[in-house]
């Protein structure tokens, strides 16, 4: 199967780190920025990098953006440029357009003009870091809905040698441990007799409240 190709417009902090990571993951990436220095910095790393004004339709057409499977508009500060570029990418037929928003209002405008996904890197990272600061064992989490979360937690010393049966997260907090990552490998759907060791990583699913209570008891 052909691998997706990405065009990243705006090679600031977010755009450049996204572009570099996609290249690391083995994808073809065209980076576009109106600033020559930003393009120069990445010209050796990305598949292609061009200096171009992204709000100019003819320019976008000439660099062939419509041939890309996914376009990311990573322009933040200049909201007008972000919106114009997003509309142009959609009109030129880029299949999937993702855009970065600086504020809720900016995000709402992007949604109204038909962007496929809006990302709020600063806001989301702030929220993520806040959660990690108040829960030292929390490595990562995904909000499944308003009420339910999957969290990845490091097993603290106090749970070393405890089986899932003894810990009883389902009975005590209504949470299920769905996987344990041990140095020997990942155990999916662990049985009740499975024993935790300090520094294992457990993946737990439950209500936000249940997971919070669980975290509080294991700090």
DSSP string, the chain: -PPPEEEEE--SHHHHHHHHHHHHTT-EEEEEES-HHHHHHHTTTSSEEEE--TT-HHHHHHTTGGG-SEEEE---S-HHHHHHHHHHHHHTT-SEEEEE-SSHHHHHHHHHTT-SEEE-HHHHHHHHHHHHHH-TTEEEEEE-SSSEEEEEEEPPGGGTT-BHHHH-HHHHHS-EEEEEEETTEEEES--TT-B--TT-EEEEEEEHHHHHHHHHHH-
Q: How far is the CB of 94 from ligand ADP (least distance, A)?
A: 15
Token code pair at residue 159: 């749970």
Q: How far is the CB of 32 from ligand ADP (least distance, A)?
A: 6
d(CA 79, CA 126): 21
Q: How far is the CB of 40 from ligand ADP (least distance, A)?
A: 12
Assess contact for 202 and 214: CB atoms under 8 A.
no
Q: How far is the CB of 83 from ligand ADP (least distance, A)?
A: 11
Minimum CB distance to ligand ADP smaller for 78 or for 152: 78
Q: How far is the CB of 34 from ligand ADP (least distance, A)?
A: 4
Minimum CB distance to ligand ADP smaller for 53 or for 147: 53
Minimum CB distance to ligand ADP smaller for 49 or for 175: 49
Minimum CB distance to ligand ADP smaller for 76 or for 169: 76
**Residues at the site binding ligand ADP, with contacts judged by CB under 6 A:** 10-15, 33-35, 38, 53-55, 74-78, 81
Minimum CB distance to ligand ADP smaller for 34 or for 190: 34
Minimum CB distance to ligand ADP smaller for 54 or for 101: 54
Ranked by CB distance to ligand ADP, the top (closest) residue is 12
Q: How far is the CB of 52 from ligand ADP (least distance, A)?
A: 6
């Amino acid at each position: 199967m052909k691998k997706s190709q990405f065009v990243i417009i705006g090679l600031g902090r977010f755009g450049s780190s996204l572009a570099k990571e996609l290249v690391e993951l083995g994808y073809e990436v065209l980076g576009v920025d109106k600033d020559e220095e930003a393009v120069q910095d990445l010209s050796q790393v990305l598949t292609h990098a061009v200096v171009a004004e992204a709000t100019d339709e003819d320019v976008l057409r000439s660099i062939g953006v419509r041939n890309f499977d996914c376009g990311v508009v990573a322009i933040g500060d200049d909201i007008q440029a972000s919106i114009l570029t997003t509309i142009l990418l959609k009109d030129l037929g880029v299949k999937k357009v993702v855009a970065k928003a600086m504020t809720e209002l900016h995000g709402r405008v992007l949604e109204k003009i038909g962007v496929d996904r809006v990302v709020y890197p600063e806001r989301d990272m702030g929220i993520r870091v806040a959660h990690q600061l108040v829960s030292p064992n929390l490595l990562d989490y995904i909000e499944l809905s308003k009420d339910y979360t999957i969290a990845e937690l490091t097993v603290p010393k106090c749970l070393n040698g405890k089986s899932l049966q003894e810990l009883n997260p389902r009975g005590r907090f209504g949470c299920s441990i769905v996987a344990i990552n041990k140095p020997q490998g990942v155990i999916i759907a662990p049985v009740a007799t499975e024993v935790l060791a300090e520094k294992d990583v457990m993946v737990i699913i439950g209500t936000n409240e249940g997971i919070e209570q669980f975290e509080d008891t294991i700090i």
